[in-house]
Structure 1
Amino acid sequence: MSDSSQSTVTDVRTAEDAEAIRRLLSRQAHLRDTDQLDDWVQGYAEDGVFTAHGTVATGRAEILAIAEAQRAAFWSDWRGSHFLSEPGIDVDAEAGTATGITHYTFLGLDEDGGYKVYVVGRYHDRFVRTEDGRWLLAAREVLTVGEESLKPAEDAAHTPAEDGSAEA
């Protein structure tokens, strides 16, 4: 195979992987919003890590326990909607790994039966492709606006203005 056709195959695989990750992110938000936590936790790798508000859960059982505790603490009737930005996804197709940053807003029921914004923030995600080609969350760090840790991670992608690749 020529270098050009190999590059095209790699580009197609990377685009397909990024789209599969976008679908995973969308599915995860839908499952959480519809309180399908048993299905939601399956979107994490067996040894996945979930970090939020100083709490770290490792493995599906711990991650599920955190989600159930959040539900019990905040909403007796868990109903709301996560609104996600277009994620920034970097795929290493050859390694079967990816990273991503997605901004989110969560709207939930208020005490009067209407909706209000409860939280706005950013997900810092790492993904892994399974042997059967599915993508799962290997790690998610949930950051909310106002947290000092919402500042870009040291390994986060640069902004175009930082390297002169685009005008500010």
Structure 2
Amino acid sequence: MDLAERIAIEHECAKLVQRYCILVDDFRHQELVALWARDGLWETWKGPLSGHAAMLAYLDAKPQTDTTIHMAHNIVIDVVDANNATGVATFAYYGTRRDDPKATIPRVVGRYFDRFVRTDDGWRFVHRRTDMTFRAS
């Protein structure tokens, strides 16, 4: 694999990390679930979700009343081979009512640990584990 191919894979996987943040904040659940491979595993803070149907049911059951912002940064993607990559990213999560005086304080800071796979539809998450390092009380 040449450098251009490696950079392209890193770019596509990093876009998935960023796109996740946008879609989850906009409650665009169908598009969000489509970021995973069909047999993907998402380890949420409430437990693991396997497959699109379980992910969609989890997302649709969550309240959609708060304004949320997920910010991912320090994204590092490591290419394993032409069809697999891993990644880690630091994230901050803000979520509350817009008029809450604590709105600018993150509710959670942590890391995403990701595995990516190339599918017929392009790069997708095959596994995501969220580590909530710091949580607001």
**Which structure shows the bigger proportion of residues in strand conformation?**
2
| Pair 108,54 (structure 1): closer, same or farther in 2 beyond 3 Å | closer
Partners of 1:54 and 1:111 in 2: CA distance: 25
8 A contact 2:111–2:130 mirrored in 1? yes
CA deviations over 1:77-112 (Å, ceiling 9, x no partner): 142111111211111233x00111111001122474
- Residue 91, structure 1, aligned to residue 83, structure 2: no
Return the offset for 1:43. 0.3
- Name segments (4+ residues, structure 1) moved above 4 Å: none
Which of 73, 94, 103 is 2:90 aligned to?
Answer: 103
Q: Which fold has the larger relative contact order, with Cα–Cα distance below 8 Å and residues 6 or more apart in sequence?
A: 2
Which of 101, 118, 131 is 1:129 aligned to?
Answer: 118
TM-score of the superposition, structure 1-length normalised? 0.72
| Pair 111,31 (structure 1): closer, same or farther in 2 beyond 3 Å | closer
Residue equivalent to 2:69: 81
- Residue 25, structure 1, aligned to residue 23, structure 2: no
Partners of 1:109 and 1:78 in 2: CA distance: 5
CA deviations over 1:27-78 (Å, ceiling 9, x no partner): 1110111110111100001000011235111001111222233x22xxx414
**Unaligned 5+ residue runs, structure 1?**
1-8, 148-168
Partners of 1:63 and 1:129 in 2: CA distance: 20
Larger Cα-atom Rg:
1
TM-score of the superposition, structure 2-length normalised? 0.87
Partner of 1:35: helix, strand, or coil?
A: coil
* Cα-Cα RMSD: 2.0
